[in-house]
Amino acid sequence: MMITSKNKLTYILILSFISFSVNFYYGSLGVLSIDTFAFFDSGFRILNGDSPFKDYWTISGPIIDYLQALYFLIFGVNWNSYLLNGSIINLLLTIICFNFFKNFGLDNKYSFFYSVCVSILSNPSMGTPFPDHYSAFFSLLSIICFLHAVKYEKKIYWLLIPVLLFIGFFCKQTPASYIIIFFLINFFLYSYIKKKK
């Protein structure tokens, strides 16, 4: 059964509401002082002129620090703008996964169901920005781009892969470095089989 653009928009609106609200709600339940507030503090420090590695130590890459500083700059330094960071990442991941499932031929109800599962299981377990999650999310998006590049042979997907892997690596080196190795092996195999340079 074909999905109309009106039906697709309805699915996307429902998924957007679920993914955003579930993450926003669960992000305020329970606090792990070291993990939960790590990027609240570093985002605030960057907003006040500090730099990672120079003025304070970070155990992961600086991408989330700068991203959170941007959220604080736009929405103010408060808990809601901190949760907004995690909720928007959760929303984007959910919508991209829904489109991925649809593009690869999964039925409407299954695409919707699996996307709801992604929205509930991906970022709400932490709710706030967390380097392991963000690195995994951007690595997953690079794999989705790789599969789209192989299927549709569009250059934009090939260009997005290193950008997403770079962001994932500078969120946290693990698991992005493993995905980079996985990608390079598959990229060279694909190039060899297709005889493309």
Q: How far apart are CA 47 and CA 44, in angstroms?
A: 5
At residue 168 the predicted structure's pLDDT band, cuts being 50, 70 and 90, is very high
> Is 31 a residue whose pLDDT tops 80?
no
pLDDT digits (tens, 9 = 90+) for 54-107: 999 888 899 999 999 999 999 999 999 999 999 999 999 999 999 999 999 999
> Is 14 a residue whose pLDDT tops 80?
yes
Which single residue is written with the structure tokens 């970022």? 123
Mean pLDDT over 11-16 rounds to: 97
The pTM for the full model equals 0.91
pLDDT score at 2: 52
Structure tokens at 33: 């002082």
pLDDT digits (tens, 9 = 90+) for 110-167: 999 999 999 999 999 899 999 999 999 999 999 999 999 999 989 999 999 999 999 9
Q: How many CB atoms neighbour CB 124 within 10 A?
A: 20
The verdict on whether omega for the bond into residue 175 sits within 30 degrees of 0, i.e. cis, is yes
Distinct helix (H) and strand (E) counts, the chain: 9, 0
Q: How many CB atoms neighbour CB 37 within 10 A?
A: 15
